A and B are shown apart, each in its own frame.
Chain A
Amino acid sequence: GNSVTQMEGPVTLSEEAFLTINCTYTATGYPSLFWYVQYPGEGLQLLLKATKADDKGSNKGFEATYRKETTSFHLEKGSVQVSDSAVYFCALLKAAGNKLTFGGGTRVLVKP
């Protein structure tokens, strides 16, 4: 079956540091890939997405590139802010069934 593995947290960073959260997936065919963010006490928000190999998703300074050869979709941000403190989820979607499969989530804490 489909699965997503992402690095465990928590990840603690200082403001303006570089952030990388690793995500790898297992799926047949060509899934769409996503990063969602969950701020404290809130639901999920779509951060970025990529629907085919070599696509780069970007939003709010975050980027991730769909790497078919390494089955990866690592999230990066060059300079984090305190407001980026949240839990980040990597997810994949196969069109059949419309079911999002999520990784376990990575908690990020940015200190001033």
Chain B
Amino acid sequence: EAGVTQSPTHLIKTRGQQATLRCSPISGHTSVYWYQQALGLGLQFLLWYDEGEERNRGNFPPRFSGRQFPNYSSELNVNALELEDSALYLCASSFQQGPQYNEQFFGPGTRLTVL
């Protein structure tokens, strides 16, 4: 069974540009999560999508946004890039069967570098 896939592997942008990161969940998973792993700041929760809706959002400015498509894949968009947006962006997916916990499986990440 294929795991969570992310593209691109690496992305280089300049300050002020927009970046689009993509994630395909494990087949059958309806929830997708985005996390930011910035140097020195650890892993921070960004967004949770389930069944096409944004369910929860971390403490990030509105220029971080995303969406989930009918096939449950997801995009993370970062507008007006700043140098501190340079990080590894990890996507995870899970089943969502009611309010109980469902294990999150992580992809390999997209490394975004802002110059």
A binds B: yes
Given contacts A44-B106, A46-B103, A93-B101, contact A99 B43 (CB under 8 A): no
In B93-107, the 8 Å CB interface with A consists of 94, 96, 99-107
CB-contacts of A81-95 with B (<8 A)? 89, 91, 93, 95
A96 touching B48 in the complex, CB below 8 Å, given contacts A43-B109, A89-B43, A103-B42? no
Band of interface residues on B:
20 to 34
Task: Kindly count the residue-residue contacts between A and B in the assembled complex, taking CB atoms under 8 Å apart.
Answer: 57
Q: At the interface, yes or no: B26 with Cβ under 8 Å from chain A?
A: no
Contact of A102 among B42, B103, B109 (CB under 8 A): B42
Residues 36-76 of B contacting A (Cβ, < 8 Å): 42-45, 48, 50, 55-56, 58
Name the residue on B nearest A41 (C-beta).
B108
Interface assignment of A45: CB less than 8 Å from any CB of chain B: yes
**Which residues from chain B contact A46 at a C-beta distance below 8 Å?**
103-105
Name the A residues within 8 Å of B33 (CB-CB). 98, 100
Checking A32, A45, A93, A100 against B35 with a beta-carbon cut-off of 8 angstroms, the contacting residue is: A100
- Say whether B31 faces chain A, with CB atoms less than 8 Å apart: yes
Q: What distance in Å separates the Cβ of B60 from its nearest Cβ neighbour in chain A?
A: 12
Q: Residue A20 at the B interface, CB < 8 A?
A: no
Q: Is B21 interfacial (CB-CB < 8 Å)?
A: no
* Residues from chain A with Cβ under 8 Å of B105 in the complex: 46
B100 and A95 contacting across the interface, CB-CB below 8 Å: yes
CB distance from A43 to the nearest CB of B (A): 4
Cβ distance A88 to chain B, nearest Cβ, rounded Å: 12
Interface flag for A22 (CB, 8 Å): no
Q: Are B45 and A99 in contact, CB atoms less than 8 angstroms apart?
A: yes
Bound together, the chains give a CA A96 to CA B33 distance in angstroms of 14
Closest to B41 in A: A104
Q: Which residues of B contact A (CB under 8 A)?
A: 4, 31, 33, 35, 42-45, 48, 50, 55-56, 58, 90, 92, 94, 96, 99-109
Can you list 5 residue pairs at the A/B interface with Cβ under 8 Å?
A: A36-B106, A45-B106, A95-B100, A98-B102, A102-B44
